[in-house]
Amino acid sequence: MKQIAVVMILLNISYGHFSRSQSVDIDEPHTYTPPRHYFQTSSFDEAELEADDVAKNPLDRGPYFDISASRNVTALVGNTAYLNCRVRNLGNRTVSWIRHRDLHLLTVGKATYTSDQRYQSVHNPQLDDWSLKVLYPQQRDSGVYECQISTTPPVGYSMTLSVVEPITTVVGGPDLYIDTGSTVNLTCIVKHLPEPPPVIQWTHNGEEINYDSPRGGVSVITEKGDITTSYLLIQRARSSDSGKYTCLPSTANPMTVHVHVLNGEHPAAIQRGLQIRGERTLLTMLFLLLMAISSGWGRLGVR
């Protein structure tokens, strides 16, 4: 009996050792979690997926969007706009662009499916990019556009296009009244640009201002940012400093202000004089128009 017991113990030890060695050789199942900036979403879905949702869409389940780029695109009126859609693992699927405003199909693959030929599809195979190109965009083109993959059901990624027109203003315009000897401070503000204008030029009566001129006391300070501001400072104003000043941003519309350097006059009196001259000009034009009409009736024999 002792011999049988010893044999049973040895068998148990050998079986346990065999089981442990076998468990080491078994590979654990491997699950790949894609990076957070890859995801799939249903068509017209604006919400970002959480990390646990991303894990449910591994890379081996078909096409997916790379959303590392911004979903908001700003373009200037008249300047070509690009909405970039990066698609991975596209395979034999196609990419389309749809305008949300009217659910209008704009492009399919590289073909344009709208009579508005300003919309074009641009494919960059090296980067897996399918961009929507909008030529000569106008403010009415602003809105949501969707890049869509022809899966079943389709999946889409939405982007917002904002088409803006730069605005240039000069504070206090169109007329500024300055006392002789005071400092002229002209402030030009430029808004709604995707990036600050490289250059802002100032002119006086159509001629570029020379900051190194013998007159002296003329300087410009420019602060660039989302809103760019340029200050033109003219020390010890004199009558020759009167005239038309124009702010000329290199990438926006110009704006003009009229500066009046006063020699003891009251601004209200100057404005009244300008109004009277305007009224006289209008009366003169009306008189000439009546004379021309009367002359025409005379030639036609109308009495």
Query: Both tokens of residue 218?
Result: 């003329």
CATH number of 64-164: 2.60.40.10
Between CA 91 and CA 159 the distance in angstroms is 23
Using 50, 70 and 90 to split pLDDT, how confident is the model at 214?
confident
Contact partners, residue 71, CB within 8 Å, separation at least 6: 158, 159, 160
User: How confident is the model at residue 284, as a pLDDT?
Assistant: 72
pLDDT in tens, 77-98: 888 999 999 998 888 899 999 9
Using 50, 70 and 90 to split pLDDT, how confident is the model at 2?
very low
Burial of 167 (0-12, 13-18, 19+ CB in 10 A): middle
Cis peptide before 153 (omega within 30 of 0): yes
DSSP 3-state percent helix, strand, coil across the chain (nearest 5): 25, 35, 40
Q: Is the pLDDT of residue 26 over 70?
A: no
User: How confident is the model at residue 299, as a pLDDT?
Assistant: 61
Count of C-beta atoms within a 10 Å radius of residue 12: 10
User: How confident is the model at residue 175, as a pLDDT?
Assistant: 94
pLDDT in tens, 229-247: 999 999 999 999 999 999 9
Q: Is the pLDDT of residue 265 over 50?
A: yes
Residue ranges, CATH 2.60.40.10, the chain: 64-164, 167-262
167-262 homologous superfamily: Immunoglobulins (2.60.40.10)
What average pLDDT is seen over the chain? Answer: 77
Between CA 75 and CA 132 the distance in angstroms is 13
**CA atoms 238, 240, 242, 248: torsion sign:** negative
Q: Averaged over 183-205, what is the pLDDT?
A: 91
Using 50, 70 and 90 to split pLDDT, how confident is the model at 264?
low
Q: Is the pLDDT of residue 171 over 70?
A: yes
39 DSSP assignment: E
User: How confident is the model at residue 44, as a pLDDT?
Assistant: 42
pLDDT in tens, 103-147: 999 999 999 999 999 999 999 988 889 999 999 999 999 999 999
Q: Is the pLDDT of residue 251 over 70?
A: yes
Q: Averaged over 42-65, what is the pLDDT?
A: 52
80 DSSP assignment: -
> Is the model more confident about 219 or about 12?
219
48 Cα distance to chain centroid: 22
